[in-house]
C-alpha cells in the first residue's frame, strides 16, 4: 500500500508538540532566538549561568522576554544578623555577693536605728 500524504515519516504537520521537560539554552542570544508559538509562554533555563528566561508571544506572535536570576538555597551569603544591645548578666555567685552586701547593710542599719513599736489601733466598739 502506498502512502500518499507527501510528508516525511515523523513530521508533525506544523503543530508544536507539547514538551514536558525543561528547556535548556546556552546564553541570552540562544534564548532570544528560541521560537515561541503565538499566545504561549515558555521557561528557558540557561545552561551556563543561574538565569531563567521567561519568553512569551502574544496572539500576533510578537515575542517578549523577562530575565530572572535565581540562587540555589544554601549557597547564598548568610544574612547578617541584627545586633542586639549588649546586656550584661550577673552570675549566681555575683547575685549572692550582692545579696550578702545588702543583708550586711540591713543589719548595720537595724543596729543603729531605734526601733519603734507599732501604734496601737484604736478599736471602736459599737
**pLDDT tens for each residue of 60-69:** 999 999 999 9
Question: 54 φ, ψ to 5°?
Answer: -100, 105
What pLDDT, on a 0 to 100 scale, did the predictor assign at position 74? 76
Establish if 3 belongs to a structural domain: no
Asked whether residue 29 is assigned to any structural domain, the reply reads yes
Contact predicate 42/20, CB 8 Å: no
* pLDDT score for 115: 61
Domain count, the chain: 1
The predicted-structure confidence for 59-108, as pLDDT tens digits, reads as follows: 999 999 999 998 877 766 666 766 767 778 878 998 899 999 999 988 88
Domain that holds residue 54: 23-69
7, part of any domain: no
Q: What is the pTM of this model?
A: 0.44
Amino acid at each position: 500500500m502506498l502512502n500518499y500524504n507527501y510528508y516525511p515519516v515523523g513530521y508533525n504537520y506544523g503543530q508544536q508538540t507539547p514538551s514536558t521537560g525543561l528547556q535548556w539554552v546556552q546564553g541570552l542570544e540562544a534564548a532570544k532566538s528560541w521560537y515561541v508559538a503565538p499566545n504561549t509562554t515558555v521557561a528557558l533555563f540557561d545552561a551556563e549561568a543561574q538565569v531563567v528566561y521567561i519568553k512569551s508571544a502574544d496572539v500576533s506572535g510578537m515575542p517578549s522576554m523577562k530575565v530572572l536570576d535565581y540562587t540555589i538555597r544554601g549557597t547564598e551569603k548568610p544574612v547578617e544578623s541584627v545586633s542586639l544591645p549588649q546586656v550584661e548578666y550577673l552570675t549566681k555567685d555575683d547575685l549572692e555577693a550582692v545579696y550578702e552586701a545588702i543583708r550586711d547593710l540591713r543589719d548595720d542599719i537595724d543596729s543603729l536605728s531605734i526601733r519603734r513599736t507599732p501604734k496601737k489601733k484604736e478599736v471602736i466598739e459599737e
